[in-house]
Structure 1
Amino acid sequence: MDSARRVLKVLLLFTEKGPELSVEEIAHSIGISIPSAYRFVSLLREMDMVEDNGKGTYVLSPRVLLLARSAEQAFPASKVLHPFVERLSKATGEAALVIRRVGDFATRAEISQPEHTIRLSFEPGQIMVLAELPDIVSRGWSKSEAEVDEGVWAVAAPIKVADRWWPR
């Protein structure tokens, strides 16, 4: 694996549940030496993508928020989907969301949630493996029982936007 891929893998290690990482954790997770992990972290610090939090670990810097905003702007279907998702949620009294396929994963593109005691925890950019995608495509719909959030049942179907199917 080349260095560029490894540096990107370092960035992808940071998650909501694991926002702080030590160099040792990075090295172990990617399967590289500690000196290599230091070199990659140093490069990311130089680019202002990560910063030392003073506790012997590193965190993503606020600069990554610019990337997140750019990604949101690059998804023009969101402007079309937002009103639809809002209407669907109001009509059913339930949460409505659009999931977008990214490679072999799914990520939340749009959501509307009424005020319920159960709130969905599927955040923008959070990924979910699409193991059953061929079955979903052939059937035309899918259901989920507590796969992401305990006590939540869901049904899903692909959406066609401008002659393109989502998830694609």
Structure 2
Amino acid sequence: MARLRYLAICSLDLHTADSDGDFGFARPDDELHQVVNDLSREVGTYLSGRRDHEVMTYWETAPGDVPGPEGEFARIWRAADKVVYSTTLEEVTTARTRLVDHFDPDEVAALVAESTLDVSIGGPTLAAEAFRAGLVDEVHLFLHPVVIGGGLRALPEDVRLDLELLSVERIGEVVHLHHRVRR
């Protein structure tokens, strides 16, 4: 059975972007990008909100024929299905993408249950809805050695999660924490 996974590249104080929306501190180097690629090969569908989707559209036109982890990720991302949740977008311009105007926990649960590959939910705002609905199975946090003091939180503040630590991995200066959500 497929899993609903949340992956966040964030600061040590668990922010994915600072108060100005800048996430440049979290740009992955080749080693970290390769780890993300390894996880992404197991994903058949990406769920994202408008802002996350707008950032990820870069991979639609990024050179997929270049060697290295960035070219590999471009190919992985293009091959996956994508669902964008937005009330403000009128259309999406990326292939294999459908636009949905609201997050329906029952529809997401059915999508995950029917999937042969994992489903990844991106963007902390959308992921918070999945956490609140009890849908997230696994959490991957990539902690960068920087404290930014505020901004967009990687995890919702109004949800209790009991987690089981599955692995800890050091990737250069970044620490990857992999947890399963206990039910």
Give me the TM-score of the superposition, normalised by structure 2: 0.25
Greater helix fraction, Structure 1 or Structure 2: 1
- Answer with 1 or 2: which has the greater Rg: 1
Give me the TM-score of the superposition, normalised by structure 1: 0.27
| Greater RCO, CA 8 A, separation 6+ | 2
